[in-house]
């Protein structure tokens, strides 16, 4: 997330296209505060290569990977809307990892992921062998998002004080990857692709 700064620019009459003395309010999409290699968290400034920034970056990448999957799901509005909801939920998850006040991941969030996973899994044939990701484009993108989620989980598990995640945070990101696996299979099922098994 970047902070927008309101600045005043005075145009100099000596510069072509400028009017001396006329002020214009602008917003810059950068703060310059990170130029030293640190960034701000709810617990203060930390190096950008710190474990918490690495974890937040992986969650951010997961949100983006889900965006790539979502644009391939226009024909399946139900799954499109579900992915959109998951993206929004991940922003709250990042806020919790970040230790921002007023945000939490609860057991109810974990239970929601489990309920959704089971509901879609019940619509699929039982899985008895490993499958090779592929099939439809949307399913392949969901499989990729699943691997990003697994990487994010590894980064979250590695967090130390003062960013040690709660049990609910660990369960949440673990269930998230399971849901993405189920959704990838379900989308292939909707698209009429037969799963390639080992």
The number of distinct structural domains making up the chain is 2
Closest listed residue to residue 180, CA positions, set 154, 138, 143: 143
Same domain membership, residue 45 and residue 14: no
Does residue 115 fall inside a structural domain? yes
Q: What is the pLDDT of residues 65-75, one digit of tens each?
A: 999 999 999 99
pTM above 0.85, yes or no: no
Same domain membership, residue 23 and residue 85: no
- The larger pLDDT score, comparing residue 11 to residue 23, is at 23
pLDDT surpasses 60 at 138: yes
Q: In the structure, what pLDDT confidence band is assigned to residue 26 with cuts at 50, 70 and 90?
A: low
Same domain membership, residue 50 and residue 11: no
Alpha helices in the chain (DSSP H): 51-70, 77-97, 107-121, 137-157, 167-191
Same domain membership, residue 97 and residue 16: no
Same domain membership, residue 1 and residue 43: no
Same domain membership, residue 89 and residue 121: yes
Residues of the domain holding 22: 1-32
Dist. CA 119–CA 114, nearest whole Å: 9
């Amino acid at each position: 997330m970047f902070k927008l700064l309101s600045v005043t620019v005075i145009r100099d009459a000596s510069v072509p296209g400028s009017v001396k003395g006329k002020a214009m309010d602008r917003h810059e999409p950068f703060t310059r505060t990170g130029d030293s290699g640190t960034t701000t968290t709810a617990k203060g400034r930390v190096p950008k290569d710190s474990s918490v920034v690495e974890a937040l970056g992986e969650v951010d990448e997961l949100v983006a990977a889900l965006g790539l999957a979502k644009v391939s799901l226009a024909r399946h509005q139900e799954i499109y809307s579900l992915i959109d909801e998951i993206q929004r939920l991940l922003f709250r998850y990042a806020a919790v990892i970040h230790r921002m006040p007023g945000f939490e991941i609860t057991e109810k969030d974990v239970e929601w992921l489990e309920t959704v996973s089971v509901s879609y899994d019940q619509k699929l044939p039982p899985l008895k062998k490993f499958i090779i990701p592929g099939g439809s484009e949307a399913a392949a993108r969901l499989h990729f998002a699943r691997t990003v989620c697994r990487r994010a989980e590894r980064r979250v598990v590695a967090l130390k004080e003062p960013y040690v995640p709660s049990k609910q945070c660990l369960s949440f990101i673990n269930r998230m990857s399971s849901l993405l696996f189920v959704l990838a299979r379900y989308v292939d099922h909707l698209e009429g692709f037969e799963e390639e098994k080992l």
